[in-house]
Structure formats: C-alpha cells, structure tokens
Chains A and B, each alone.
Chain A
Amino acid sequence: MKKLMLSLAIAASLVGSSSYAQQVIRIGTLADYAPFEYKDASGKLKGMEIEIGQKMCASMKVTCQWVTMDFDALIPALKSKQIDAAMAQMSKTPEREKSVDFTRIFTTAPVQLVTKKGAGINQNPATLRGKTIGVQTASTHESYLRMRLPTSKSSIDVKVYQTMDAAWLDLESGRIDAVFADNTLAYDWLSKTGFKEGFDFAGKPIEDAEIFGAGTAIAVRKGDEKLKAQFDQAIVKVHSDGTFSTVNKQYFPFSILPK
C-alpha cells in the first residue's frame, strides 16, 4: 500500500511538473542563408536572425526549438503543424498572406542586382536584354522577374537556384550575368568573396512594394493570433531597446531596422 501511494505521488508530481513546463515553439529556419541563419562547420546554427530570435524567445519566456529546412518547405511545414513559426527572412507579401499570417515587419532589406564590375548591367531593363539572371527559387526576386520582366518581352533568361550558394558559384564561373537578391545577403557574399574577384552591386536598388512587400516578418499559422501577438510584442521590444541595432552592426555596415 505504501509503495502504491509513493508511486501515485511520483506520478502526480510528474504530471504537475509537465503542466508548468515552458511553452515550446518550433521555429522553422534555413541552414544556408548566411549571415541571417546558417550552420557553421561544426553544425551549430548561427546568424543574425538566430541571435536576435533567441533573445526574443527569452523575452517571451518560451523555449524555442530551431528546425532547419529548405525555404520552399517552410510554408507547407507551417500548414502541416511541423513548425509553429518561420523566421527565415521571409518577405511579407500579399501572395503569402493568403497562406500564412505575418507578424509586424521585422527587417527591411533593399533588393539589387549584383554583377561583375563594368558589365554594363543595371536596374534599367534595356541593359538586361539577352542576359541570364540567377534568383533563388520561390523568392520575391523570382516573382519580380517573371511578373515585371517576363522573358517574352524582356528576353531575360531567368535561372532558378535551390540555394543562394549555387547562384553565387554560377555568377563566379560566368554561367550567369547577374544575381538578383537582397542586399544583405549579397553583401555577405561580396565581402567574403565577390569584392575580391571584381563583383559589386549594380545600379540602384529596385523598388516595388507590391512584390517585395514592406520587409520581412515572422510567419505563423493562419489564425494563430496568440503566437502572433507574442512575437509582435517581442519584435517591438528588440527594435526599441537597441538589441536589434547592436546585433545589426555586427553583421552589416548599413541598418536593416524597419523605418
């Protein structure tokens, strides 16, 4: 009888403790999107968004589990409840808002072409005739080229890459004439490899709020108001208390804090 009581007591304490455990949020992200989120040589997840994300999780008093996957798997994974949020430099666009809900804007990144210096290419479509431009698959950059500069009119050849690393490699080898990506990401590659090999930003940033949205945000499942509110609060906090700017400076010489 004593034994039974004891085991009941243990069972009760176990049940009790689990109900007091911290809320666990599974956040989907990427493993190859330096400097925002990437795995270093030892397999550890690092990057600007990971760093700020962890601070946000602490301020939300939740346990965050980071799950890495391909960019195109994020929204399906959110829908099928494999993850609860996606933090992967996802632009908040009307197209995506049909499938998921977004928090307030987290970062803003200008978009611009990157080419070899002196290639004579800039944001003016006339300079892009007959050129091949590399973009990441399912990105807003791809939508821009397909909707605003369709091949039939612009004679631009669009090459679609699964990862940005592959696009940079093809730019280096000369298979493509330009890469169209976020400035932040391009800056990371340029500062590591590109500048040395004579590549640079071309022309001016391209502006099109309808396609590129106002910036990137954290995606949550449609109707998950609670988590959206939690993240919104955390974003306001890191934006206003200087946490964001401090981390920003470690990664980029320009600010990506939304205005």
Chain B
Amino acid sequence: MDSLVLLLTESGPVLLSGLVTSLKLLVLSCLFGFMLAVPLAVARSAQSRWLSLPSRAFMTVFRGTPLLVQLFILYYGLAQFDWVRHSPLWLLLEGSFSCALLALTLNIAAYMAEDIRGGIAGVPAGEQEAAAAFGMSRFMITWYIVVPRAIGIVAPTLANEVVLQLKSTALASTITVLDLTGVARRLSIAAYDTDALILAGVAYVAIAALLSSMLKFAEGRLNPHLLR
C-alpha cells in the first residue's frame, strides 16, 4: 500500500497525462465513430444495392478483424508504401495518436452502425406509415422519424459499445501512444513490479463505472417513456 502511495506522489503527473490521452482517444473516437455510424446504418438499410453493399463490406471488414491487426496495418503496414508517405493520408498516419484515433474510430463506427441498423429494422412500421400519411417525404421519414427512434431503441447497446471502447483504447499503447496503459507499463517495467498496472486497472474500473452512470442518465433523457 505504501508503495502505491509513493508511486502516486512520484509518478502522478505522468499517469494523469496518460489518463488524459486515454480519455481523449475514447471521447473523440466515440464521437467521430457515431457520426460515421449513422449514415453507414442508413445506407446499410437502404433498398439500393449501391448504397447497402459498400456499407455492408465496410462493416464486415472492421467487425471481422481484430482491432490490433487494424492498428498494425494502419500504422506499420501502410507506412511501407512510398505513395502513402507522400499522400495527404500521411498527415493522419504519421503520428501515432492520430493513427490510433483513426483505427479506433473506424472500428467503433462499424460496431455502432450494426447496432443502429438493428434499431432501424426495429422501428414499428406503423410509425413510418403515420409519417407518410402526414405527407412527409422519404428523406424526412428517414432522418426525422426512423433514425431518432432507432437510436433510442439501441441506446443501451450503444452505451455498452462506449464502455467496451474504453478498454480498446489500451491497444493504442502497442503503437507507441503513451496512454494510461502505455504509461503504466513503462512505470512497471522501470520498477520491475506491477504496482502501476494495478493502479491503471483501478482507474479503468472507476472510469467505466462513471461512464456507465453517465450513459444511463443520457439513455433516460433519450427514452423518457421507458423510465421507471
């Protein structure tokens, strides 16, 4: 216990900066991922094959491969090609943080899109018919009725993805990002013990608990009729 206190006083600032990096990865990837997931899910649910097939392919690839593999391909794999290094894409791939953020974003977008697609399929047909009876266009029905309802329906699942994503951010440390795991690992290596890793574990549990209750609150705002 004393050693943990000592660790906190000595390495508190570095651990804190690692924690901030982890949270940045989490918040930004979930935000961008969600923004990407909604159009993906709508395209996936579209009648047109030209819209649904590319979206389906994207989801199959990113849900079908381990995140670690995606990270390594984006970071080390693409960097081997000269044309990639001389393209604007390199601005995103050169830094390890931006590269990790890209992989995490694409990955969670695929999972969230699949969730939202399920939600879209679950919107009662009667609601869409009622909207059509009011003279709403197909565009309006999709974006004002179906999508908001679908997101409400799958809100608990989306919240779960966010908590899962918190732990996925730890993989960023494999491509030299000094997130909470990366910092804790370095500290434990230097000290030849696992104190820093235990501390990081405690921090993850605390964030996950905090996150769950915050998301629960947001769910309540989204689905007030389901509150008991």
Report which A residues bind B (CB closer than 8 A).
72, 75-76, 79, 99, 137-138, 159-162, 166, 169-170, 172-175
Contact A170 B79 (CB under 8 A): yes
Apart from A172-B79, A175-B94, list 6 A-B contacts with CB within 8 A: A72-B188, A76-B193, A138-B186, A162-B174, A169-B79, A175-B79
Chain B residues near A173: list those with CB within 8 A: 76, 79-80, 85
Contact B189 A72 (CB under 8 A): yes
**Of B79, B85, B175, B186, which is within 8 A of A137 by CB?**
B186
Q: Is B134 an interface residue (CB 8 A)?
A: no
B-side interface residues, number (CB < 8 Å): 17
Nearest B residue to A175, CB-CB: B94
Q: What is the CA–CA distance of A172 and B80 in the complex, to the nearest angstrom?
A: 8
Chain B residues near A79: list those with CB within 8 A: 192
Nearest B residue to A74, CB-CB: B192
Q: Which of B76, B96, B193 has the most CB of A within 10 A?
A: B76
Q: Is B125 an interface residue (CB 8 A)?
A: no
Contact A166 B189 (CB under 8 A): no
Q: Which of B85, B174, B188, B189 has the most CB of A within 10 A?
A: B189
Known: A79-B192, A137-B186. A166 touches B76 (CB 8 A): yes
Chain B residues near A159: list those with CB within 8 A: 176
**17 A-B pairs whose Cβ atoms sit less than 8 Å apart in the complex:** A72-B188, A75-B192, A76-B193, A99-B192, A137-B189, A138-B186, A138-B189, A138-B190, A159-B176, A160-B186, A166-B76, A169-B76, A169-B79, A169-B80, A170-B79, A173-B80, A175-B94
Q: What is the CA–CA distance of A72 and B197 in the complex, to the nearest angstrom?
A: 13
Q: What is the CA–CA distance of A72 and B186 in the complex, to the nearest angstrom?
A: 9
Contact A76 B190 (CB under 8 A): no
Closest 5 CB pairs of A and B: A173-B79, A138-B189, A72-B189, A169-B76, A75-B192
Give the Cβ gap from A185 to chain B, nearest Cβ, in Å. 18
Q: Is B11 an interface residue (CB 8 A)?
A: no
Report which B residues bind A (CB closer than 8 A).
76, 79-80, 85, 94, 96, 174-176, 185-186, 188-190, 192-194
Chain B residues near A76: list those with CB within 8 A: 192-194
Q: What is the CA–CA distance of A159 and B178 in the complex, to the nearest angstrom?
A: 10
Give the Cβ gap from A179 to chain B, nearest Cβ, in Å. 13
Contact B80 A160 (CB under 8 A): no
Q: What is the CA–CA distance of A138 and B192 in the complex, to the nearest angstrom?
A: 10
Chain A residues near B174: list those with CB within 8 A: 162
Give the Cβ gap from B77 to chain A, nearest Cβ, in Å. 9
Give the Cβ gap from B126 to chain A, nearest Cβ, in Å. 55
Q: What is the CA–CA distance of A175 and B85 in the complex, to the nearest angstrom?
A: 10
Q: What is the CA–CA distance of A160 and B14 in the complex, to the nearest angstrom?
A: 15
Chain A residues near B194: list those with CB within 8 A: 76
Nearest B residue to A167, CB-CB: B176
Contact B85 A174 (CB under 8 A): yes
Q: What is the CA–CA distance of A170 and B72 in the complex, to the nearest angstrom?
A: 12
Q: Which of B94, B190, B193 has the most CB of A within 10 A?
A: B190
Contact A161 B176 (CB under 8 A): yes
Chain B residues near A138: list those with CB within 8 A: 186, 189-190
Nearest A residue to B77, CB-CB: A169
